[in-house]
């Protein structure tokens, strides 16, 4: 049994059907699929999920994002805007444990696929609904992309240089956070279902997922009258903790804000006296003199090449790391030793590198089995083996354009 669990993953036996498109809902399903859930992604016939076309670089005209967000999933085509397609969806959902959808609230219900309707035939069903603003409230009917959730959840305002408008963090973080919380909610609901036999709705709103990450931002204002502002690379009053330049134009992050760690940094710099200097000897003093301290460290770091600086920091046990881009990640020995990046065979691209599954489980780890599937690759398999359709019915649905 242990061997089988190790091979299949901890969610083996859980069947998920995914509706919706782009990122927030599909990222939730990606996480579940990573750990062994059977995820059946339902896409519109002909065009499929728009994510198949997304991405800055598109070798062979293909998205480099799709193989990641759709990894380990099966693709079925079905037109949910037709009565026949809705019937196919109902029959499929009856055989599933979890539904993941990220349409605008109310859409599934209008199609006869709301939780109240589906749970009659499948009382243990867990329905995960991901949206911009949640399933109720005055904003629920608004369209809500990840960027909007990042703005209203408080993230955008605090990201970037204080002299520039609020910045994007460089990735679709709002969508991914909502998908992560949605996956957590699905697991919690499945735990309850296993005890009671009853499913429930998981409501994951993008703006709330972002808000959940905002630390003490709210009481800072409500109780202290302070509004957090953009601070660039620094954490105000926490010093030193910044990105410092090197002689060969590298960038190294040094985080030595604890008193003992700062004293080790001062020794490494050949300036042990800084550790007892009243301006820098305590956490509070370093915070008050943050700009001056950063200037001293930057002047020193700029006299050393990146690898030399890293070696000195590591030798003196000072937390440090280079600011990595993809090239550095792909050749880093630690990434390689832990298999943080896996390379999966892809029909067009050949060897396809992508981030591995996290977190790591010692007995039942997740794994990447295949990259995102071709549109409709598993339609016949799923409709035959899971829904129980005959070939003639499948052929008729295909002829009418429903699948």
319 and 356 together in one domain: no
Residues in contact with 257: Cβ distance below 8 Å, sequence separation at least 6, in sequence order: 238, 239, 240, 241, 283, 286
- At residue 301, the pLDDT reads 97
Is residue 333 included in any domain, yes or no?
Answer: no
11 and 45 together in one domain: yes
263 and 149 together in one domain: no
- pLDDT tens, position by position, 193-202: 999 999 999 9
| 141: CATH | 3.40.50.10540
Least confident range from 5-19, 21-35, 81-95: namely 5-19
135 and 246 together in one domain: no
Query: What's the domain range around 47?
Result: 2-213+339-399
Is residue 116 included in any domain, yes or no?
Answer: yes
Q: Of the candidates 328, 349, 384, which is a domain's last residue?
A: 328
Is residue 230 included in any domain, yes or no?
Answer: no
- At residue 6, the pLDDT reads 56
70 and 107 together in one domain: yes
Report, in angstroms and rounded to the nearest whole number, the Rg of the chain calculated over CA atoms: 25
Is residue 223 included in any domain, yes or no?
Answer: no
- At residue 288, the pLDDT reads 96
Please report, in angstroms and rounded to a whole number, the separation of the first and last CA atoms in the chain. 38
- At residue 2, the pLDDT reads 45
65 and 166 together in one domain: yes
176 and 273 together in one domain: no
For this structure, is 259 an active site residue? no
How far apart CA 373 and CA 72 sit, in angstroms, is: 8
Is residue 275 included in any domain, yes or no?
Answer: yes
- pLDDT tens, position by position, 134-156: 999 999 999 989 999 999 999 99
Q: How many helices (H) and strands (E) does the chain have?
A: 19, 11
Distance from CA of residue 382 to its chain's centroid? 27
- At residue 1, the pLDDT reads 42
Is residue 115 included in any domain, yes or no?
Answer: yes
- Pick the catalytic residue from 175, 294, 380, 385: 175
Classify 345 as helix, strand or coil: strand
| 287: CATH | 3.30.1540.10
Q: How many alpha carbons lie under 13 Å from residue 225 in its C-beta half-sphere? A: 0
Q: Of the candidates 294, 328, 362, which is a domain's last residue?
A: 328
180 and 274 together in one domain: no
255 and 201 together in one domain: no
265 and 176 together in one domain: no
Where residue 189 falls among pLDDT bands split at 50, 70, 90?
very high
Dihedrals phi, psi of 254, to nearest 5 degrees? -120, 125
Q: Of the candidates 305, 328, 351, which is a domain's last residue?
A: 328
111 and 31 together in one domain: yes
Please return the burial class of 364, using the count of CB atoms within 10 Å of its CB with bins 0-12, 13-18 and 19+: middle
**How many domains does the chain fold into?**
2
Where residue 339 falls among pLDDT bands split at 50, 70, 90?
very high
- pLDDT tens, position by position, 207-231: 999 999 999 999 999 999 999 999 9
38 and 181 together in one domain: yes
Where residue 296 falls among pLDDT bands split at 50, 70, 90?
very high
| Mean confidence (pLDDT) of the chain | 95
């Amino acid at each position: 049994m242990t061997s089988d669990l190790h091979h299949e993953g901890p969610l083996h036996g859980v069947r998920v059907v995914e509706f919706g498109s782009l990122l927030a809902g599909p990222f939730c399903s990606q996480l579940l699929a990573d750990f062994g859930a059977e995820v059946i992604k339902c896409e519109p016939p002909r065009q499929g999920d728009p994510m198949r076309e997304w991405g800055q670089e598109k070798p062979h005209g293909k998205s480099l994002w799709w193989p990641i967000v759709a990894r380990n999933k099966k693709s079925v085509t079905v037109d949910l805007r037709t009565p026949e397609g809705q019937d196919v969806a109902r029959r499929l959902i009856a055989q599933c444990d979890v539904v993941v959808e990220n349409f605008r609230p109310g859409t599934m219900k209008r199609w006869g696929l709301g939780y109240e309707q589906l749970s009659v035939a499948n009382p243990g069903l867990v329905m995960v609904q991901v949206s911009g603003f949640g399933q109720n409230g005055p904003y629920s009917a608004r369209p809500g992309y990840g960027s909007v959730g990042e703005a209203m959840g408080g993230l955008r305002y605090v990201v970037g240089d204080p002299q520039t408008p609020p910045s994007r963090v460089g990735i679709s973080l709002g969508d991914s956070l909502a998908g992560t919380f949605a996956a957590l909610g699905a697991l919690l609901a499945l735990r309850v279902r296993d005890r009671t036999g009853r499913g429930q709705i998981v409501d994951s709103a993008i703006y709330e997922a972002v808000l959940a990450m905002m630390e003490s931002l709210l009481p800072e204002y409500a109780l202290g009258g302070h509004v957090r502002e953009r601070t660039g690379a620094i954490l105000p009053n926490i010093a030193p903790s910044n990105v410092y330049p090197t002689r060969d134009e590298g960038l190294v992050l040094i985080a030595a804000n604890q008193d003992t760690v700062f004293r080790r940094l001062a020794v490494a710099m050949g300036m042990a006296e800084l550790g007892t200097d009243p301006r820098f000897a305590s956490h509070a003093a370093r915070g008050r003199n943050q700009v001056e301290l950063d200037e001293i460290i930057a002047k020193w770091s700029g006299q050393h090449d990146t690898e030399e600086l890293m070696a000195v920091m590591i030798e003196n046990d000072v937390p440090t790391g280079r600011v990595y881009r993809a090239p550095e990640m792909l050749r880093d020995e630690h990434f390689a030793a832990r298999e943080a990046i896996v390379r999966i065979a892809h029909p067009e691209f050949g060897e396809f590198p992508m981030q591995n599954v996290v977190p790591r489980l010692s007995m039942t780890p997740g794994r990447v089995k295949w990259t995102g599937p071709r549109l409709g690759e598993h339609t016949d398999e799923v409709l035959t083996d899971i829904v129980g359709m005959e070939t003639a019915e499948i052929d008729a649905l295909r002829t009418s354009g429903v699948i």
